[in-house]
Amino acid sequence: MKMRIEADSMGEMPVPADALYGAQTARALANFPISGLRFSRPFIHALGMLKQQAARVNGALGLLDEERMTAIMAAAAEVINGELDEHFVLDIYQTGSGTSTNMNANEVIANRAAQILGRQIGSNAVHPNDHVNLGQSSNDVIPSAMHLAAVLELRRDLLPALSGLQQSLEEKARDFDDIIKIGRTHLQDATPVRLGQVFSGYARQLALALHGLEAAEDGLLELPLGGTAVGSGLNTHPQFAEQVIAALSTLGGRPFREAINHFEAQAARDAAVAMSGALKRTACALYKIANDIRFLGSGPRCGLGELRLPPVQPGSSIMPGKVNPVLCESLMQVCAQVIGNDAAITLGGLSGNFELNVMMPVMIHNLLGSIALLAGAARQFDHGCVKGLDADRQRCASLVEESLAMCTALVPAIGYDRAAQIAKEAYRSGRTVRQIALEQQILPAQELERLLDPLPMTEPGVPGKTR
């Protein structure tokens, strides 16, 4: 490989001849050969947006000449569009401030801008610190890019995916509203419920999760940009942050705002922790929904069998004809990973030492990873499973009739103890509550028929007294 020699404050460093990054990135590349995991496309996109608008504002404020400003903005546009991704080479597990990746961006943009101006890579015709990083510090740029990327991905990907799934669950709630099934508590038979009511509960879970995500988003709309090294704003123009953030709001379509207190905004990452908590809540809701559907579709002959899941692929390498609830299982695994990501983000949030959090790269990686995972899995679960769900009406009706919990509707008429005796006899003999009650003539047959009608049991009220 052909190399060139570049220098930084620590001395000379060999760099691949065609690399747009420079000495500081090369040092970090040598220091952190840890995982092979790099910053995601959404984060690099957000970093490019920030650098582009920083150059424009610095030019407008008279701090950057027009030629360099134009070249930096053009180079940053290529970063935004993903054209320079191969030059963003650093591992997630690096300096906790993300300084290495901020310098990676500064060097790539500076060298690409130099090329645009007809100058050589490494010439410092556009300087990574003096020009691209003008008015900035890694300590305010990296968390600002984190917030920007998370909000954009939340709005672009996750919220639409969850909203689509919620709508599908609401449609199933309407489609299944006339189907009466047995309820279950503690994994045991309980009183009847309509299948539509069950799905309305799932839809409401997602509605609440969406509300939680939107509430958590508000903290991410506050950007630390303008605080520079420790929150004091040293070496940045007083109008710099306000103008850059106004441009990002226009470009991103969200009302970003400058941090009220820059010392909090750089020392703590509480907004990211809060968003991760909202993502974890969403994962818990999705896990519950997927797991319920998986069990309700168990069978096809020896399980609960109340739902029929769409067959999407063969389920076994040894058992012919077996079909498994693979989309439910896929979503559940994603939810487990998101909950694990939240643990890493929470630990990262603990590491706000004095004026700076030093776990930002791993927090960024896991936060954006959770958003992407939930969006992809929810969308696939919606289209591949929920939309194609059907119910086995006959199976639902037969399980209701066989349930011992049917005796609950008799309690207001005959008392708890006598109803319990009927349930025990039904269990012992293998017959239904209806059959035992008729045999023992506890009530007139017409009254029993009315009390043991499962449909009224799915609504509030006391059978035979208040409806």
Per-residue confidence (pLDDT) for residue 195, from 0 to 100: 98
User: In the predicted model, is pLDDT for residue 464 greater than 70?
Assistant: no
Q: What are the extents of the domains in the chain?
A: 3-134, 140-393, 404-458
The Cα–Cα gap between 425 and 247 comes to 74
What average pLDDT score do residues 327-337 get?
A: 98
Per-residue confidence (pLDDT) for residue 133, from 0 to 100: 98
The Cα–Cα gap between 442 and 394 comes to 28
Per-residue confidence (pLDDT) for residue 300, from 0 to 100: 92
Arithmetic mean of pLDDT over the chain: 97
What average pLDDT score do residues 126-138 get?
A: 98
Per-residue confidence (pLDDT) for residue 466, from 0 to 100: 60
Assigned CATH class of 3-134: mainly alpha
Q: Which of 35, 123, 316, 398 is catalytic?
A: 316
User: In the predicted model, is pLDDT for residue 281 greater than 90?
Assistant: yes
What is the SS3 assignment for 174-238?
HHCCCCEEEEEECCEEEEEEEHHHHHHHHHHHHHHHHHHHHHHHHHHCEECCCCCCCCCCCCCCC
Banded pLDDT at 72 (limits 50, 70, 90): very high
User: In the predicted model, is pLDDT for residue 467 greater than 60?
Assistant: no
List alpha helices for 403-440, DSSP H: 411-414, 416-429, 433-440
The Cα–Cα gap between 180 and 166 comes to 22
- Are the CB atoms for 155 and 253 separated by under 8 Å? yes
Name the fold adopted by 140-393.
Fumarase C; Chain A, domain 2 (1.20.200)
DSSP type of residue 297: T
User: In the predicted model, is pLDDT for residue 5 greater than 80?
Assistant: yes
What average pLDDT score do residues 74-100 get?
A: 98
Active site residue 131: no
What homologous superfamily does CATH list for 404-458? Fumarase/aspartase (C-terminal domain) (1.10.40.30)
Strand partners, 314: 323
Q: Which residue has the tokens 């004091």?
A: 232
What average pLDDT score do residues 71-92 get?
A: 98
User: In the predicted model, is pLDDT for residue 288 greater than 80?
Assistant: yes
Banded pLDDT at 443 (limits 50, 70, 90): very high
Percent of the chain with pLDDT over 70: 99
Per-residue confidence (pLDDT) for residue 307, from 0 to 100: 98
Q: What is the pLDDT of residues 13-31, one digit of tens each?
A: 999 999 999 999 999 999 9
Q: What is the pLDDT of residues 200-242, one digit of tens each?
A: 999 999 999 999 999 999 999 999 999 999 999 999 999 999 9
What average pLDDT score do residues 281-303 get?
A: 97
Per-residue confidence (pLDDT) for residue 266, from 0 to 100: 96
- Are the CB atoms for 153 and 145 separated by under 8 Å? no
Per-residue confidence (pLDDT) for residue 175, from 0 to 100: 98
Q: What does the radius of gyration of the chain's CA atoms come to, in whole angstroms?
A: 30
Helix (H, G, I), strand (E, B) or coil at 284: helix
What average pLDDT score do residues 394-417 get?
A: 96
Closest CA to 75 of 47, 48, 100, 50: 48
Per-residue confidence (pLDDT) for residue 1, from 0 to 100: 83
In total, the chain counts a number of residues equal to 467
Active site residue 351: no
> What do you get for the CA distance between the two ends of the chain, in Å?
83
Kindly report the pTM of this predicted structure.
0.96
What average pLDDT score do residues 375-386 get?
A: 98
